[in-house]
């Protein structure tokens, strides 16, 4: 209970909750977060961002502020700006060394917070990955599986839960990418991909996720799903454009060869159909554009993560080193 007795100027953890019409769930969620972090004896603050709610969210937050005056900070948007915008706002006012994001619909369990925080350091971003027994809708599970496989292929890194909103990251990492946060539900996707491609240390840890306790999800499968795919492509284009241009060029080349062979079979003589010429030119231009884009990306992007490299400083025998050099 020591965390309630005096204000904190620089807490270890800032918990950011984007809230949009979740008056029912936050009544128990916020006290549970307070209890969990107090039991872990972690200095913390909770930043509740009311994203233009029209229900009783403001009144509930007001009462919770009375109950937890030194750990709960409330920020309000005058109208609904989106989940990502709420995360941006919460991150800007956060004072903790680590920023932890949670959904406010009751699916994320506060008792899982220590598991996520325990891996920072050495990791810069830790994502609470939903396990296989997650009881979400079948369509959402199917979509998440596609996003994970797509992101794994594009980043060459195993991504087990690209869209999870339960995650913790170092404050400096959040500040690095804050300007890239989209306003909608694609913010987790953006954070994951940018951290992976910028060289930060990223870990996925399995956590239990409960079904939504009240209300209904604000995610629209088709509209937000399309945005997820576009965000994935944008982030890869920003850091590693050849990952997209190279396969496209290969496909165009294969189609060009197929069109050429079809022309040979039809004309029974050596010919180059216009379609084959067009496809070969398109393939060459795609590869050249990819090379130029890759060169631009590599010249303007500073890769991070080196400051968290762990070195085991063990004593070495000089004679052994000299023998290795002589070999």
Q: What is the pLDDT along the chain (327 residues), one digit of tens a residue?
A: 334 443 446 889 999 999 998 888 888 899 999 999 988 888 999 999 998 888 888 888 988 988 888 889 999 988 888 888 899 999 999 998 999 999 888 888 899 999 999 998 889 999 988 876 666 556 667 777 777 787 787 777 888 888 888 999 998 888 888 888 877 767 888 888 888 877 888 999 988 887 666 555 555 555 655 766 777 777 777 777 877 888 888 999 999 888 888 888 887 777 778 888 888 899 889 888 888 877 676 655 555 554 444 445 444 444 443 444 344
DSSP one-letter string for 84-135: HHHHHHHHHH--SSEEEE--SSS-B-GGGHHHHHTTTTT-SEEEEEEPTT--
**pLDDT at residue number 186:** 76
Q: pLDDT at position 188, please?
A: 83
| Cα–Cα distance for residue pair 96/12, rounded to 1 Å | 5
pLDDT for the residue numbered 195? 86
In this prediction, residue 164 carries a pLDDT of 86
Structure tokens at 261: 């062979």
Q: Determine the pLDDT at residue 179.
A: 84
Residues sharing a CB contact under 8 Å with residue 142, sequence separation 6 or more, in sequence order:
none
Task: Return phi, psi of residue 30, to 5°.
Answer: -65, -45
- pLDDT for 298 equals 62
Alpha helices, DSSP H, located in 121-273: 138-155, 171-177, 187-197, 221-239, 242-267
Cα(222)–Cα(231) distance, integer angstroms: 14
Q: Which pLDDT does position 48 carry in this prediction?
A: 92
Would you say 166 and 128 are in contact if contact means Cβ atoms under 8 Å apart? yes
Strand 98-101: give its sheet, edge to edge.
Answer: 72-77, 44-51, 13-19, 98-101, 167-170, 125-130, 202-207
Token pair 């989940």: residue: 83
Q: Tell me which architecture the domain covering 9-238 has in CATH.
A: Alpha-Beta Complex (3.90)
pLDDT score at 155: 76
Tell me whether residue 291 is exposed, middle or buried, using C-beta atoms within 10 angstroms of its C-beta: 0 to 12, 13 to 18, 19 or more.
middle
Closest C-alpha to 2, from 57, 46, 43, 61: 43
Cβ 305 vs Cβ 200: under 8 Å: yes
* pLDDT value for 299: 59
């Amino acid at each position: 209970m020591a965390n309630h007795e005096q204000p904190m100027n620089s807490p270890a953890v800032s918990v950011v909750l984007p809230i949009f019409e979740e008056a029912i769930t936050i009544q128990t969620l916020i006290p549970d977060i307070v209890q969990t972090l107090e039991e872990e004896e972690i200095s913390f603050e909770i930043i509740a961002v009311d994203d233009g709610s029209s229900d009783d969210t403001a009144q509930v937050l007001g009462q919770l502020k009375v109950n937890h005056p030194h750990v709960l900070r409330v920020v309000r948007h005058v109208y609904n700006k989106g989940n990502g915008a709420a995360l941006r706002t919460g991150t800007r006012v956060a004072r903790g060394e680590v920023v932890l994001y949670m959904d406010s619909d009751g699916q994320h369990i506060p008792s899982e917070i220590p598991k996520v925080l325990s891996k920072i350091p050495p990791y810069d971003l830790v994502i609470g990955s939903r396990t296989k027994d997650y009881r979400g809708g079948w369509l959402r599970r199917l979509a998440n599986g596609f996003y994970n496989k797509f992101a794994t292929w594009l980043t060459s890194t195993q991504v087990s839960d690209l869209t999870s909103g339960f995650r913790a990251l170092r404050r400096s990492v959040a500040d690095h990418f804050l300007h890239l946060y989209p306003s909608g539900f694609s913010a987790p996707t953006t954070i994951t991909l940018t951290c992976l491609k910028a060289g930060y240390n990223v870990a996925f840890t399995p956590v239990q996720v409960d079904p939504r306790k009240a209300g209904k999800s604000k995610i629209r499968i088709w509209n937000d799903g399309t945005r997820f795919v576009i965000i994935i492509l944008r982030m890869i284009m920003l850091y590693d454009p050849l990952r997209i241009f190279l396969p496209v060029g290969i496909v165009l080349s294969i189609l060009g060869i197929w069109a050429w062979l079809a022309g040979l079979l039809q004309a029974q003589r050596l010919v180059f159909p216009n379609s084959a010429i067009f496809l070969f030119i398109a393939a060459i231009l795609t590869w050249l554009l990819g090379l130029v884009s890759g060169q631009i990306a590599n010249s303007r992007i500073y890769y991070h993560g080196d400051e968290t490299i762990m070195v085991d400083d063990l004593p070495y025998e000089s004679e052994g080193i000299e023998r290795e050099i002589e070999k």
